[in-house]
Amino acid sequence: MFWCCVLVMGRAVSMSAEVLTTPTPANPWIAFTTVSEYGDPDGFAWGQVGNVTPADYKVEVYIRVEGNWWTKPYLGDPFTLINSDSTWSCDIVTYPTDRCATEVAAFLVPIEAVANLCNPCTELPTIPGAPDCWIDRGPTPRYLSFAGYYWQVKRSDCLAGPGPNYFTDRPEDVWVDLEGNLHLTVSFHDGYWWCTEVINTASLGYGTYIIQTRSRVDAIDPNMVVGLFTWDTGSPETSYREMDIEFARWGDPSNATNAQYAVQPCSSCPGCEDRCHRFQVDLTEAEKDLTNYLIWQPGSVTFKSYLGVHLGHEPPSEDLIAEWTYAGPYTKVPGAENFRINFWLLNGLAPMSGLSDELVITGFACEGCAPTPTPLPALSATSTGGLLLTIIGLSILVLVTKRSI
């Protein structure tokens, strides 16, 4: 019933260039006319309203950074006033990481309206009856096909968790080789250390998650961390439904253990009561295959790690390295979690060795999980043998086309 906004492609354009619907003469409306491009450290949003008396209304603006929505320009100054000519502008970069906001939204509200503050919010506020507009200005996401699922490659040009670190989606940093193995890296380029993460786009729920690695995860740099885990960005109240298999010495070269299982919340292991289990993995260059299990059932989760390649068959008991079951009050129930794999740096610190490293994942499966793998869209090969999904999507708030790859 209310007209919404335009699409940004790189540098923002005039609103008339991308309008898919037009405002009706009687209804109030709001639109972006220009939005600074992703990464601009001096970012602004400019817009216009119609069919209202400017002095009787104001604008409420939000940006989305790393999955969370934030009030702009400030929590203490959450509204943008409208000029007498019906235009408005809002500073959307008032904190260093704001330049990496991928989405911007604005609502037209009465001058007496009370602010819906986000500091942050996992969902964009709903303001009944308020005309709104929304823009996706983020870089086009990259996807990989691996193990019958497709995975989004995380990208963050600003420091982001875990770490915090910079995350790269370059094909030379994250790829699937011609044998179907997934490669993640920690590497130095363009003046920074870059980490990598992939996110299964399906939410699989209860089942047996199996992850095979072929790397010396027992001998990674003390500042490096390998994570195999579940995560639900929209559920902070459940500690993000996070359950972890991790390989790390947490910055301590003399740490007697190099791996752990954990059910969050757990900020330090040992040290979070019964919610984690530390253990030691010993591999060799000749035998560096590892098969890890996360068995998630109602009321409990069991973790197991075995030497060797066991995807598709029962592993022999003599290959068992570690096993642990948690059935306490922090046991997770399914929601909108996704399985993730990442390779990152503790506190964003450079490797003690000063060297890059590579993690190879040779297999992933989820037995007894739902839904079954989603059919893959059209794929195109990358120069490194990986696969890049080509997707054309629609916004969920307003009907606009989004950039294709």
User: By percentage, how much of the chain surpasses pLDDT 70?
Assistant: 85
Correct CATH for 15-136 of 3.10.620, 1.10.20, 2.60.40, 2.60.120: 2.60.40
pLDDT tens for each residue of 277-314 = 999 999 999 999 999 999 999 999 999 999 999 999 99
Q: Is 343 exposed, middle or buried (0-12, 13-18, 19+ CB in 10 A)?
A: buried
pLDDT tier for residue 386 given thresholds of 50, 70 and 90? very low
Q: Which two tokens stand for residue 159?
A: 């420091």
pLDDT of residue 70: 98
Bridge-based pairing state of the strands 192-200 and 338-345: antiparallel
Pair 274, 328: CB distance under 8 Å: yes
d(CA 236, CA 59): 28
Average pLDDT, the chain: 88
- In this predicted structure, the answer to whether residue 13 has a pLDDT above a threshold of 50 is no
- Give residue 25's pLDDT band: very low, low, confident or very high (50, 70, 90): low
**What would the pLDDT profile of 170-216 be if each residue is shown by its tens digit?**
999 999 999 999 999 999 999 999 999 999 999 999 999 999 999 99
Answer with the residue of higher pLDDT: 126 or 21.
126
Range list for CATH 2.60.120.200 in the chain: 142-388
Please give the average per-residue pLDDT across 62-87, as a whole number. Answer: 97
Give burial (CB, 10 Å; 0-12/13-18/19+) of 205.
Answer: middle
Q: What is the pTM of this model?
A: 0.84
- List the beta strands (DSSP E) in 76-181: 79-81, 87-91, 103-110, 132-136, 142-146, 149-153, 156-160, 165-167, 175-176
Please give the pLDDT value at position 270: 85
- Identity (one letter) of the amino acid at 29? W
Neighbours of 191 (CB within 10 A): 5
Residues 6+ apart with CB under 8 A from 219: 283
Omega before residue 164 within 30° of 0, cis: yes
* Count of residues in the chain: 405
Confidence of residue 370 (pLDDT cuts 50, 70, 90): confident
Give the pLDDT confidence of 101-139 residue by residue, as tens digits. Answer: 999 999 999 999 999 999 999 999 999 999 999 999 999
Reply yes or no: is the peptide bond before residue 270 cis, omega within 30 of 0. yes
Beta bridge partner(s), residue 296: 207, 301
Please state whether 16 falls in left (phi above 0), alpha (psi between -120 and 50) or beta. Answer: alpha
Q: Where in the chain is the domain with CATH 2.60.40?
A: 15-136
Distance in angstroms (rounded) separating the CA atoms of residues 363 and 179: 11
Phi first, then psi: give them for residue 22, nearest 5 degrees.
-120, 150
pLDDT score at 169: 98
Within 8 A by CB and 6+ apart from 359, the residues are 183, 184, 185, 213, 215, 217, 226, 343
Residue 382 — left, alpha, or beta (φ > 0 → left; ψ -120 to 50 → alpha)?
A: beta
> Which CATH number describes the domain made up of 142-388?
2.60.120.200
